[in-house]
A and B are shown apart, each in its own frame.
Chain A
Amino acid sequence: MAKKAIVNIYLKNGVLDPQGKATHHALEAMDFQGVNDVRMGKQIVLDVEDGVDEEQVKQMCETLLANTVIEDYAIKFEQ
């Protein structure tokens, strides 16, 4: 059995996100109302064996997938 580990990576709060800022600005320019903020991130989908747990994915994030100097990450699993 395999499942999917979905890792979402965003710039930390307080770290300027120029892509999010530009996209927010573009949405406003197109007259889309009510958007308070845009944060841009990336999603990494790992196709993993059932035995792989959150702790292991966390290790992957800390080691390679995210740069914790500037980035936060969140992990969730899907069957």
Chain B
Amino acid sequence: MKVTILRFPGTNCEFDTEYAFQKLGCDTQIVWHKEHDLQSPDLVVVPGGFSYGDYLRSGSIARFSPIMKEVGEFADRGGKVLGICNGFQILTESHLLPGALKRNENLHFISKHHRLKVENSDNTFLQKCEKGEVLNIPVAHADGNYYIDEQGLKELRENDQILLTYCDENGNTLNPNGSVEAIAGICNKNRNVFGLMPHPERAMEEVLGSADGIKMLEGFLA
């Protein structure tokens, strides 16, 4: 399993992501945003951070990096792409995923362990999880307030594209940032491009407070 992890100026989760996938036994490579070759991966991860300092809008400048053209073509061919946090923002700005991420409703950066409910496990990413399962995964973002218009939301629902929502320990909705329907993660219609605000790569070991990220990322290995 070969994982390509992108690096933009301002990315800061590329090494965490690499460490997490190496723990799962994957070959990893970090690819600079000015490159044009994804190096034939099985999975491309757009990691978290503050690409271009989140200036203008989170992810808005990074989407024009040369490597993103390759990512678009890779996704069009059915290649698997995962965007985490800033990576999710970049994927929505690139229109590889629907919707947009706005400033958190309380206007603050929010960093904490949060519970997520698996809404749909019928996809590569969450196939190791059970529908309805509650996972403990860190969130850390200022612009994580997912927005999509009525029509778009209807489509997400009809196609089972809502993968994860924010909840409490008992699985009841608990919305930390104002996201529409408490959405934390989605996929595209073809179910090969995935995006989420929480950080599964930060939940790979009990020593860090949770190992629930393992069964999420492991989905890509199966």
Per a CB cutoff under 8 Å, which of B56, B99, B106, B107 touches A69? B99
Cβ–Cβ < 8 Å partners of A70 in chain B: 100, 102, 147
| Closest partner residue, chain B, to A11 (CB atom) | B102
Q: Is the CB of A15 within 8 A of B107?
A: no
For the complex, give the distance between the alpha carbons of A39 and B105 in Å: 14
In the complex where A64-B60, A67-B57 touch, is A19 in contact with B107 (Cβ < 8 A)?
yes
Residues in B with CB closer than 8 Å to A22 are 107
Report Cα–Cα, A67/B60, bound state, in Å: 8
Q: Kindly state whether residue A65 has any CB partner on chain B within 8 Å.
A: yes
Q: Is B104 an interface residue (CB 8 A)?
A: yes
Complex: chain B residue closest to A69, CB-CB? B100
Known A-B contacts A15-B147, A16-B178, A18-B178; the reply to A67 vs B103 at CB < 8 A is no
CB nearest to A40 among chain B residues: B103
Q: A16 to chain B: which residues have CB within 8 Å?
A: 102, 105, 178
- Chain A interface residue count, Cβ-Cβ cutoff 8 angstroms: 11
- Chain B at the A interface: mostly helix, strand, loop or mixed? loop
Q: Cβ of B109 < 8 Å from any Cβ of A?
A: no
A11 contact set on B, CB distance < 8 A:
102
Residue contact B106 to A18, C-beta cutoff 8 Å: yes
Q: How extensive is the interface on chain B, given as a class?
A: 20 to 34
Q: Which residues of B contact A19 (CB under 8 A)?
A: 103, 107
Q: Within 8 Å CB of A18, what residues of B?
A: 102-107, 145, 178
Alpha-carbon gap, A75 to B106, bound state (A): 30
CB closest chain-A residue, reference B103? A18
Flag whether B61 is at the interface (Cβ < 8 A).
yes
B100: contacting residue among A64, A65, A67, CB under 8 A? A67
Contact with B along A15-53 (1 / 0, CB 8 A): 110110010000000000000000000000000000000
Report if B14 contacts A (CB, 8 A): no
- Nearest first, the 7 closest Cβ-Cβ pairs linking A and B are A69-B100, A70-B100, A18-B105, A70-B147, A67-B100, A67-B57, A18-B107
Known: A64-B60, A65-B56, A69-B92. 14 other contacts (CB 8 A): A11-B102, A15-B102, A18-B102, A18-B104, A18-B106, A18-B145, A19-B107, A22-B107, A64-B61, A69-B99, A69-B100, A69-B148, A70-B100, A70-B102
A-B pairs with beta carbons under 8 Å apart, 16 shown: A16-B102, A16-B105, A16-B178, A18-B102, A18-B103, A18-B104, A18-B105, A18-B145, A18-B178, A64-B56, A64-B60, A64-B61, A67-B93, A67-B100, A69-B147, A70-B102
